[in-house]
Each structure stands twice: as structure tokens, then as C-alpha cells.
A and B are shown apart, each in its own frame.
Chain A
Amino acid sequence: GIQVEQSPPDLILQEGANSTLRCNFSDSVNNLQWFHQNPWGQLINLFYIPSGTKQNGRLSATTVATERYSLLYISSSQTTDSGVYFCAVGPGYSTLTFGKGTMLLVSP
């Protein structure tokens, strides 16, 4: 099946710093989502982005499907950004395969 690799596995930032999270995948995809799992365990949708670039406030994402990677940018990080960020991809139109996630800790 498709392989999804996320980097870095862990990231510690000071509040206000910027960061870039990366997601590499091993095959063509028709579906790609970024999620934030907060400290309470909720999986929150950030972006649905099989290709192109999107922005939502301090967060933005870019997927280059032809090169099989996606990037999630977090600017001016806040303590509430802490948690685990997951990239999930779907080679088909149905299911999602998740990466192992990037654990982000933003300290005040």
C-alpha cells in the first residue's frame, strides 16, 4: 500500500515562531488532508488539499502532487497550536492512509 512519511517527528517552538511540516507519499493520490489532533484527542480538519495551495489564517498548505509531497506552514505559532499534526492520503477516492504525525509543542 501507499507509504506516508512525515517530518520532523517532533518539534518544539517558542510562541511566535514559524514552522514547516512535511508529508511525503509514495504514490499518486487523489485525496490529501491535514489534521490537528489536539491534547484532548480530537481530530480537527485543517485542509483538504490534494493539489495546490490554501490558506486559513496563520496556517497554509501546499501540495505538489507531481512530486508527491505536501507542506503545512504554521506562522506566529501559539500554545494552542500544540498537538499532533497528521497528513492522510488516499490513492483512490475512498479511504485515507495516515502518516505517523508530527508532534508539536509550542511553549510560552
Chain B
Amino acid sequence: DAGVIQSPRHEVTEMGQEVTLRCKPISGHDYLFWYRQTMMRGLELLIYFNNNVPIDDSGMPEDRFSAKMPNASFSTLKIQPSEPRDSAVYFCASRTGAGVSEAFFGQGTRLTVV
């Protein structure tokens, strides 16, 4: 398997624009997670899905953030409108649903909002 695939790897956008980050989890994995990494806050969970259903979105910072998982092989994280403080590395991760298992992370999307 190719692992968790995220796109784009880098995104530079202007304040106020809409940004969409994409993730393809490992095939067969039932859980999908979106994390954000910043210098100030470290790695923090934004939202996670189980079998395509959002389970906990309490980490989503504001209503400007939304995430969807229309099917088992695709998820998006959208920011609209984007702000400079959204600049961060966004990671997607997935794991199986079989008991407790390890999570695998994608390579991340480095977002810069100017």
C-alpha cells in the first residue's frame, strides 16, 4: 500500500481565499484523523471519522473549518475564508478499526496564508 496520501504537499494562498486539503487513507482503514501542527500548539487533533462518520470535531478551531468524508477512500478539510493564523502543517492519519492499532500519517500539507 502507498500509505496515507495527502494533496497538495504545499499550498500558498491569500487571506480570504478558500482552501481545500485532501486525504486518501490506507485501504481498509476504518478511522481517519485530521491533525494540525504549529510551533505554538504542537500536534493537535482537529476531527476524526469512523466508517466515514464524523465522531468528534471538538478540535476544529472555528466554523471556518469543515471536514467531510464522502467515502472510505477520500476526505477533505476545507477552510473558508482562510486567515494567516491558519498557516500550519496539516496531517491526515488513518488506522484500522480492529481493536487498538497504530495510526499511520501522511506526509502533510504545509499551508501558508499570506
Query: Residues of A with Cβ closer than 8 Å to B?
Result: 30-31, 33, 35, 41-43, 45, 48, 50, 86, 88, 90, 93-101
Contacts and interface: CB of A to CB of B under 8 A. Distances in A.
Interface string B103-114: 111011010000
B56 interface: yes
Contacts of A93: 99-100
Interface in B23-56: 31, 33, 42-45, 48, 50, 55-56
B29 to A, nearest CB: 13
A91 to B, nearest CB: 11
Nearest to A100: B42
B108 A31 contact: no
Nearest to A4: B42
Given A42-B108, A98-B42, 18 more contacts: A30-B100, A31-B100, A33-B102, A33-B103, A35-B105, A41-B108, A42-B107, A43-B91, A45-B105, A90-B100, A93-B100, A94-B48, A94-B50, A94-B55, A95-B45, A95-B48, A95-B56, A96-B103
Contacts of A30: 100
SS class, residues of chain B in contact with chain A: strand
Contacts of A48: 101-102
Contact of B89 (A35, A41, A99, A101): A41
Question: What 8 pairs between A and B have smallest CB-CB spacing?
Answer: A48-B102, A98-B43, A43-B105, A93-B100, A31-B100, A30-B100, A100-B42, A95-B45
Contact of B31 (A33, A94, A97): A94
A100 B100 CA distance: 23
Contacts of A45: 102, 104-105
